[in-house]
Amino acid sequence: MKIPEILMVETVHQPGSLARVLGVIAEAGLIIDHLNAVRREQGRTLWEITLEMDEDTDRGLYARIDALPTARFVGKSDRVFDRHRGGKLRLRPSIPINTQQVLRDIYTPGVARVCLAIRDNPELAWQYTSLDRTVAVVTNGTAVLGLGNIGPLAGLPVMEGKAALFAGLVDINAVPILLNETDPARCVEVIAAIAGSFGAIQLEDFAAPECFEIEAELRLRLDRPVLHDDQHGTAVVVLAALHNATRRVGRSIEDCAIGQVGLGAAGLGIVRLLKCHGAVRVKGADLSPAALERLRVLGGEPSTLEDIMATCDVVIATTGVKGLIRPEMVRPGQIILALSNPDAEIDPVKALERGAAFAADGKGINNVLGFPGLFKGALEARAPRFTDEMLIAAAHRIAELAPGDDLVPDPLDRNVHAAVTAAVREAALAARQSEKLEALG
């Protein structure tokens, strides 16, 4: 597994000093992820150099940098840990609590009036509480990133990260909820019991196949949107990327042979949405016979990695297996999306060197482009559930906003998330209007 190493290196402020350091790094076969000048004083510059290094990479690199006549290896930074120190979330009041009048209005005795009004008309809760902008981010830690079953507590940094993205990108309050439970029926009971505190439920990092049962049952029992992000958020962004990639090679999703390698939560979510969108031929490969059977139910064709690489125009991989796709397996003109994090099934650079028309990994094709706008749009429309129309509307809007030759837009652009929100809201309201017309006719 690749991990970020953040080196602190001091160089003499003269031409070529930094270049020598970068040369040593290049000779080690490493790629620089980020370079930042921390400070410059007394003729020396302190650099922060972020590298992606395998756990077995030769750390003798540090000594080789230190041996340079114009550089000094200072040590390693704890920047990643520092950014997590104390957690990534804070709860703040929406109004200043600075007078006795405010205190009495928002707490006792004034709050009693609002409580009684909601008792008599529960719909008022959507106006006078934060339900319309609050999401529960729930996990039991059984399938965290590419790390596997590490448990809910170890998954909390991921849940806080999701919640921070909700707040930073679409102004949604998101609350991490950890479940020390793996039985699907008990997970459903616990989540259903607390659902009244939230306007929507995001399921995160639940392992397959239990995740399918949990989501399906919650969708039946709750009157608010439930979305397993690993399935549907990922599928939305993949659909957006494929819309652009196929169009730019003069094809369409409908006329491409598509191969999905790995049929866990993400893989089956992708297959399901692609078939819903109109994909005709979708092959799938997985070691699990049960996963292959679920693929058949969705209309896909069980296959193998070798057959998919030999016959498919589009290859999507969500296996969690680093280096699964060997460069020699790539055929010229293929579209390769190797989406496992933190390590992809094939480095996109290597896929492009072998002639792939487009290649990307999970760092670029990431569900952060989807879930913030999906949830905000659903909440703004007061949608009782997510529909395929909402998911497809989000994917199309993401695709439309990709600049130049990029497959998807910048995930940090709040305008993108606002546009996705609007698209999802419009699709939800249109579906509601259609339901009303059907009921009348």
Instruction: Please compute the mean of the pLDDT values over residues 52-56 and round it to a whole number.
Output: 77
Asked which of 136-140, 143-147, 203-207, 422-426 is least confident by mean pLDDT, the reply is 143-147
CATH assignment of 232-367? 3.40.50.720
| pLDDT > 90 fraction of the chain, expressed in percent and rounded | 83
State yes or no: pLDDT of 435 exceeds 80: no
The vertex-17 CA angle with 16 and 19, nearest 5°, equals 60
Between 30 and 189, the more confident residue is 189
> Over 90: is that where the pLDDT of 153 sits?
yes
Structural domain boundaries of the chain?
Answer: 2-84, 130-224, 232-367, 371-440
Report d(CA 124, CA 294) in Å as an integer.
42
pLDDT band at 52 (very low <50, low <70, confident <90, very high): confident
* Of 268-272, 323-327, 362-366, 388-392, minimum mean pLDDT range: 362-366
Contact (CB, 8 A) for 396 and 423: yes
- Residue spans of alpha helices (H) in 364-405: 371-380, 388-400
CA nearest 423: which of 376, 385, 355? 376
As a whole number of angstroms, the distance between CA 332 and CA 344 comes to: 20
* pTM of the complete model: 0.88
Instruction: Report the percentage of the chain scoring pLDDT > 70.
Output: 99
Per-residue pLDDT reduced to its tens digit, 87-127: 998 888 889 999 999 999 999 999 999 999 999 999 999 99
Q: What's the CATH architecture for 2-84?
A: 2-Layer Sandwich (3.30)
In angstroms, the Cα distances linking 231 to 131, 150, 168, 266 are: 24, 19, 23, 4
Alpha-carbon span 63 to 422, nearest angstrom: 54
Q: What is the pLDDT of residues 13-29, one digit of tens each?
A: 999 999 999 999 999 98
What single-letter amino acid sits at 287?
A: L
Handedness of CA 214, 218, 219, 221 (dihedral sign): positive
Mean pLDDT over residues 357-384, rounded?
95
For residues 166-188, b (16+ Cβ closer than 10 Å) or e, as one string? bbebbebbbbbbbbebbebeebb
Strand order across the beta sheet in which 44-54 lies:
32-41, 44-54, 2-12, 71-76
Judge whether 130-224 and 232-367 match in fold. yes
pLDDT at 211 over 90: yes
Question: Residue 439's pLDDT band (boundaries 50, 70, 90)?
Answer: confident
Supply the DSSP symbol for 206.
P
Four-way CATH pick for 130-224: 2.60.120.10, 1.20.120.10, 3.30.450.20, 3.40.50.10380: 3.40.50.10380
pLDDT value at residue 436: 75
What are the respective helix, strand and coil percentages of the chain, to the nearest 5?
Answer: 45, 20, 35
Mean pLDDT, residues 149-153: 96
Mean pLDDT over 181-192 rounds to: 98
Strands 226-228 and 257-261, by their bridges, are unpaired
Rounded CA separation 211/244 (Å): 30
Residue 158 and residue 137: Cα distance in Å, rounded?
Answer: 10
Mean pLDDT of the chain: 94
Whether residue 18 contacts residue 11, with contact meaning beta carbons closer than 8 Å, is answered with: yes
Q: Rounded to the nearest 5 degrees, what angle is found at the Cα of 83, between the Cα atoms of 81 and 89?
A: 120
What are the CA-CA distances from residue 268 to residues 208, 279, 300, 342, 371 (Å)?
A: 10, 14, 10, 20, 18
Q: What pLDDT score does 63 carry?
A: 92
**Cβ atoms of 134 and 174 closer than 8 Å:** yes
| Residue 382, amino acid | R
Residue indicated by tokens 């930073």: 168
Whether pLDDT at 261 is above 80? yes
**Unique residue bearing structure tokens 């009971």:** 189
Strand arrangement, sheet containing 173-178: 173-178, 134-139, 200-203, 226-228
Residue 294 confidence (pLDDT) above 90: yes
**pLDDT, tens digit, 9 for 90 and up, residues 342-355:** 889 999 999 999 99
Question: According to DSSP H, which parts of 100-228 are helical?
Answer: 100-106, 111-120, 125-128, 152-170, 184-194, 210-221
pLDDT in tens, 31-43: 898 999 999 888 8
3-state DSSP of 306-349: HHHHHHCCEEEECCCCCCCCCHHHCCCCCEEEECCCCCCCCCHH
Residue 78: is its pLDDT beyond 80?
Answer: no
Residue 441's pLDDT is what?
Answer: 66
Contact indicator for 240, 364 with CB cutoff of 8 Å: no
SS (H, E, C) 161-185: HHHHHHHHHHCCEEEEEECCCCCHH
Tell me the average pLDDT across 378-407. Answer: 96
What is the structure's pLDDT at 1?
Answer: 64
Q: Which residues are catalytic?
A: 107, 162
